[in-house]
Amino acid sequence: MNQFDLFGNPVSSKVVVATQTGAVSIKNGEYIFIPGFFNQQESDFYLKILKEKVLWKQESMNMYGKKVEFPRLVAWYGDDETPYSFSGISLHPNPWMKELLEIKYRIEPIANSSFNRLLLNFYRSGRDSVSWHSDAEPELGKNPIIASVSFGATRKFQLRHVQTREKIEIHLTHGSLLIMQGELQHYWQHQVPKTDKKVGERINLTFRAMNSLPGG
C-alpha cells in the first residue's frame, strides 16, 4: 500500500544502491561519481599524510542539556578567516596545506568550480558517522556544488529525498570523488550511517565555494 506525505507525495522507504558512475541525473538534482579518481598509491599517501598533518578537533554539542561529542573528528580549512557554523559550534579555518591544495586543484576542473573552503571529517571506525543533513546554508548560494573526496575504508553514503523519502545509496571507496550539484542540496539530505561491521579509518573532504557573509 502506498504511503503519502503531508503534500500528497508518495513516500518510499526503498533504498536503491547506485551502480552507475560518471554523471547521474536524479529527481531534483545531479551528481557525478568517479571511483578510483585518485589511484591506489595516491590514495594511500593522502590517507596517511592527512591523518598525521591535519589539525583535527573533537567538537561537541549540547543535546537535551548534556554535552555530547561528535561521532567523528573534524577540521576546517579555507582562504580567509570566515568561520563555519553548524550544530551550535563555529569552526575557524586553518590555512591551506599543500596536500589539500593538490587535491583541490585536481578536482576543480571536473566540478567546473573554484573552491575556497574545505570541511574534513575523520571517521575512526564504523561507530563514527554523520546524521541526515543538507549543505544548503545561505553562504553557499543557490544550487551549490559540493565535491566530496574519500580516502580509506569504504562507507555507505545515503541520499534521501525530503518529500518522497526515497533513498539512494552510494558506496564511497578509497580515492573516490563524488560531486553533488544542481538542486540536490535543496531537495535531498545525506548521511554516513553507523555500522556494526568492522571497518577501518576513513577521511572525507568536502570542498565548497562560500560567500564571506557575516556570521558565515
Taking the mean position of all CA atoms in its chain, how far away is CA 130? 9
- Greater pLDDT, 86 or 136: 136
Alpha carbon of 102 to those of 38, 73, 105, 166: distances in Å? 12, 22, 5, 36
Q: 116-133 pLDDT, tens per residue?
A: 999 999 999 999 999 999
Longest dimension (CA), the chain: 55
What is the per-residue DSSP string for 120-185?
A: EEEE-STT--EEEE----GGG-SS--EEEEEEES-EEEEEEETTT--EEEEEE-TTEEEEEETTHH
Phi then psi dihedrals of residue 33, to 5 deg: -125, 120
Q: What is the pLDDT of residue 214?
A: 40
Average pLDDT, the chain: 89
Q: 142-181 pLDDT, tens per residue?
A: 999 999 999 999 999 999 999 999 999 999 999 999 999 9
Q: What is the pLDDT of residue 2?
A: 45
- Greater pLDDT, 117 or 1: 117
Which of these ranges, 7-11, 135-139, 180-184, has the smallest mean pLDDT? Answer: 7-11
Q: 174-206 pLDDT, tens per residue?
A: 999 999 999 999 999 999 999 999 999 999 999
Q: Is pLDDT of 106 > 50?
A: yes
